[in-house]
Amino acid sequence: MARADSTWMEHIIATVKERVDARVGEVFEDCFVNTISSTIERYDDGSAFVLTGDIPAMWLRDSTWQMIPYVHFSGDYPEIAELIGGVLQRQLMYIDMDPYANAFNAEPNGAGHHDDLTEMSPWIWERKYEVDSLSAPLFLAGHLWDRTHEDAHLGGLEKALETVVDVFAREQRHETSDYRFERPGAQVATETLSHGGKGAPVGYTGMTWSGFRPSDDANSYGYNVPGNAFAVVVLRTAARVLEQMNAATGATSSPVISRARDLADQISAGIYEHGVIDHPQWGKVFAYEVDGLGQTLTMDDANMPSLLSLPYIGFLEADDPIYLNTRAMVLSDTNPFYFNGSRAQGIGSPHTPHEYIWPIALAVQALTSTSAHEVDQIIDTLIHTTGGTGLMHESFHKDDDALFTREWFSWANAMFCELVLAYCSLTQSNDISRKEASNG
């Protein structure tokens, strides 16, 4: 694995420790160093493979969020820009291989779920099609460009955007898609798709279909609203970045720029027409999933993008009235995956045991909060629910943080770092939010 460059890391860690109390600084340091020192493999072609943690595969989604705490400093430290550029290079390579896959191997070794009934290759660890997985590399590319304004690591962006637009447009009418996924012998229904691997029927909404959620669990209904919101943001982001890159070099504008923007507008309109519902208690709120045939799902999941994360990913502002209603709803008993215990209160997931809370969701709750008191409380909760390990976990029991899932989960470590950096005013997390939300 890559060894951490102590100079830039020590500077960032020292800056954080000057602005937080000792315990927060200690946990931040452990989490910040962990991803760089333990999950990254560099290759001679300049690319970088990122382990999700205790699973020997690279998720397009996870690897993006694993890099987000470092991207803020890529404009100041060329070595960070080079590292993140290497991660992006490998992500775009994987998209070119198969845009329907969510997780990949470091080499074509055939590891992973090769008994699944879908079009696998030796490079693929898992082929669960998720809108957010295909979107995440574009999000990382936007952040890298906005920090560095260098196109050295973005050579494959235009081709990747063309692929993403083609897939998202095709999946607006899922009946035309050849994608299928079944997991023989699946222990739970969320591990496979119904209807011969096609998934439950959907109607046209303008949104784009997804087989699986950011949790890797199967959708109940085909249109995941936060996933579609994320798609809107990244399509507009990638279009803007390509336009700026072309302007800087004098290159001819690419047709995919207008295609991406038009598609983003269609998806956004679909979200507001079909994904906003009237809740008897909370008023107008965003549903978590809909099918375009009248079925809606009222919940939120800890995995991001989530309804809770909509301001953070840049879809809307934190004071948006529909978002505020939605936030109140998902942080209440109305959400079947909101748990209130003696150690913590927060959002969990059907992906993990009942009454287990996710540190990722707690970090997102703080990152989208307008209350300094709430942020302070959540940071305090996070540093005191590590189960004595000093690192974040996938989830922990609401009454006993010694009961947790996944001892090593790099995405959770990264989101804690992102929260602390924002608390210390060391991020520019809202840059893309302001640019892309203003285009909505």
Q: Among 191-205, 244-258, 288-302, 375-389, whose mean pLDDT is lowest? A: 244-258
Omega of the bond leading into 305 within 30 degrees of 0 (cis): yes
> What pLDDT does 224 receive?
98
> What pLDDT does 50 receive?
97
Confidence band, pLDDT 50/70/90 cuts, at residue 250: confident
Higher-pLDDT residue of 44, 187: 44
> What pLDDT does 5 receive?
55
Confidence band, pLDDT 50/70/90 cuts, at residue 3: very low
> What pLDDT does 187 receive?
85
Rounded CA separation 96/169 (Å) = 17
> What pLDDT does 433 receive?
40
In the three-class reduction of DSSP (H, G, I as helix; E, B as strand; rest coil), residue 126 is classed as: strand
Taking CA atoms, 261 is separated from 67, 169, 239, 440, in Å, by 26, 12, 7, 10
Query: Residue 177 burial (CB < 10 Å; 0-12/13-18/19+)?
Result: middle
> What pLDDT does 249 receive?
85
The pLDDT of residue 371 is above 50: yes
Cβ atoms of 205 and 270 within 8 Å: the answer is yes
Residue 409 is given by DSSP the state B
The pLDDT of residue 252 is above 90: no
**Mean confidence (pLDDT) of the chain:** 94
Confidence band, pLDDT 50/70/90 cuts, at residue 153: confident
The pLDDT of residue 377 is above 50: yes
Name the phi and psi angles at 359, rounded to 5. -55, -35
Q: How is the beta sheet containing 395-397 ordered, strand by strand?
A: 356-357, 395-397, 400-405
Residue 299 is given by DSSP the state -
Rounded CA separation 433/421 (Å) = 17
Average pLDDT over residues 50-75: 95
Which tokens go with 18? 């000057």
Would you say the C-alpha torsion 219, 222, 226, 228 has a positive or negative sign?
A: positive
Taking CA atoms, 77 is separated from 5, 36, 80, in Å, by 11, 15, 6
Residue position matching structure tokens 């004071």: 319
Average pLDDT over residues 204-227: 98
Residue 48 is given by DSSP the state E
> What pLDDT does 407 receive?
85
Tell me, yes or no, if the pTM score tops 0.75.
Answer: yes
Q: What share of the chain has pLDDT > 90, as a percent?
A: 91
Would you say the C-alpha torsion 349, 136, 186, 195 has a positive or negative sign?
A: positive
Confidence band, pLDDT 50/70/90 cuts, at residue 311: very high
Residue position matching structure tokens 């799902």: 297
The pLDDT of residue 4 is above 70: no
Average pLDDT over residues 110-133: 98
Rounded CA separation 181/196 (Å) = 8
Rounded CA separation 193/171 (Å) = 15
Higher-pLDDT residue of 8, 437: 8
The pLDDT of residue 110 is above 90: yes
